[in-house]
Amino acid sequence: MALREIIILPDKRLRLVSEPVAAVDAEIRRLVEDMFETMYDAPGVGLAAIQVAVPKRIITADIAKKDEPKRPQVFINPEILWTSEDRASYEEGCLSIPDYYEEVERPAAVKVRYTDLAGETREVEANGMLATVLQHEIDHLNGVLFIDHLSRLKRDRVIKKFAKAAKREEKD
């Protein structure tokens, strides 16, 4: 296992649409292990492969609270089959947009089809935090960031702030 660098806004790779995984092989399993190590180290509750600069349709997630045992979950080639009409708001953050949090409204429940690490097709109905994490991370696979769900003014402010920070870092 290895820690991988998380790419940060305004990195243009965050806007790429990730490619489907053709087969769950040793390389994919190694990537998933690295993603978990990176996600836990950050710390975060979800990570899309594109956030570690790999444009593959893979998500790792673990919504266990700090005092609970870890419950790692892997979703390969996830697709949302259904969303509820009920909506829920959660304060979201993103490892690729560090230290910025904002309320985002999304469907309260989702049904997702995905492939597991054994290569089996599975479906999960999720609500609450898992539903939010799945939607957030699937957005990443489609080149969408959680700030895209905010008003244009808030989104533009965040993008400008991170662009300035990136320019300052280039000079140093």
For the chain, strand residue ranges (E) read 46-48, 58-61, 73-83, 87-94, 97-107, 109-115, 121-127
- Mean residue pLDDT of the chain comes to 96
Domain range for 128 is 12-171
For 8-86, strand residue ranges (E) read 46-48, 58-61, 73-83
Q: What is the mean pLDDT of residues 129-151?
A: 97
Q: Is residue 58 included in any domain, yes or no?
A: yes
| Cβ atoms of residues 102 and 150 within 8 Å | yes
| Cβ atoms of residues 118 and 66 within 8 Å | no
Q: Is residue 24 included in any domain, yes or no?
A: yes
> What is the band of 168 on the pLDDT scale with cuts at 50, 70, 90?
confident
Q: Is residue 2 included in any domain, yes or no?
A: no
Domain total for the chain?
A: 1
* Residue among 147, 137, 142 nearest 100 (CA): 147
Q: Is the pLDDT of residue 158 over 90?
A: yes
Active site residues: 137
Q: What is the mean pLDDT of residues 23-50?
A: 97
Q: Is residue 5 included in any domain, yes or no?
A: no
* CATH at residue 138: 3.90.45.10
Q: What is the predicted pLDDT for the residue at 169?
A: 82
Q: Is the pLDDT of residue 42 over 90?
A: yes
Give how far Cα 150 sits from Cα of 89, 105, 155, Å.
12, 9, 6
Cis peptide before 69, with omega less than 30 degrees from 0?
A: no
Q: How many residues does the chain have?
A: 172
Q: Is residue 7 included in any domain, yes or no?
A: no
Q: Is residue 32 included in any domain, yes or no?
A: yes
**What backbone phi and psi angles, to 5 degrees, belong to 75?**
-130, 110
Q: What is the predicted pLDDT for the residue at 1?
A: 76
Instruction: Quick: pLDDT tens for 124-137.
Output: 999 999 999 999 99
> What is the band of 170 on the pLDDT scale with cuts at 50, 70, 90?
confident
Instruction: Quick: pLDDT tens for 55-104.
Output: 999 999 999 998 999 999 999 999 999 999 999 999 999 999 999 999 99
**Which residue did the predictor score with more confidence, 168 or 29?**
29
